Amino acid sequence: MTKTGGCMCGAVRFSAENVPENSGACHCEMCRRWTGSALLGVTVPADGVTWDGAGNIATLQSSPWAARSWCSKCGSALYYRVTAEGDFSKTIEMPIGLFDDPNGFTMTNEIYIDHKPDSFAYAGTDRAVLTRAQTLEKFGVTLDETQNERPQE
């Protein structure tokens, strides 16, 4: 399906094609700090998104394998993108709240489930869950226990 949306102030708008009905939640520390909660997002093909106001998009390489982008005017989180080579680099994860019509999504997965605060609870249990280790393996990322996933200063 095609969906439209934008940031809080309207400086960035988009039209996204091939938006699936499946959505997920990420409980990693960076997503929680970036969104103020878990990232409730939907994975869309990066080449299927048309941006208006792209000059207002700021980006941070937030880990060795991924970047996060936001509106430089209002700070709305816009998307998470895997920058490491592979199939995941062809998609972006967009927060559901950006869509003009955020209805019709079904949560089918939660990642970093072992980092989920005990105050977060979602209805239903019919979804896949991955721990931090399982998520990193899925993305083809290897970290030893001493490496930090946060951006280096």
CATH of the domain at 22: 2.170.150.70
Domain assignment present for residue 144? The answer is no
42, burial (CB in 10 Å: exposed 0-12, middle 13-18, buried 19+): buried
The SS3 of residue 16 is strand
Domain assignment present for residue 146? The answer is no
Domain assignment present for residue 143? The answer is no
This prediction has a pTM of 0.87
Domain assignment present for residue 152? The answer is no
Domain that includes residue 57, residue range? 3-138
- What integer pLDDT is reported at residue 153 of this predicted model? 42
Domain assignment present for residue 79? The answer is yes
- Per-residue pLDDT for the chain (153 aa), expressed as one digit of tens each? 999 999 999 999 999 999 999 999 999 999 999 999 999 999 999 999 999 999 999 999 998 889 999 999 999 999 999 998 888 889 999 999 999 999 999 999 999 999 999 998 888 888 999 999 998 888 777 765 435 565 544
- How many separate domains does the chain show? 1
Domain assignment present for residue 31? The answer is yes
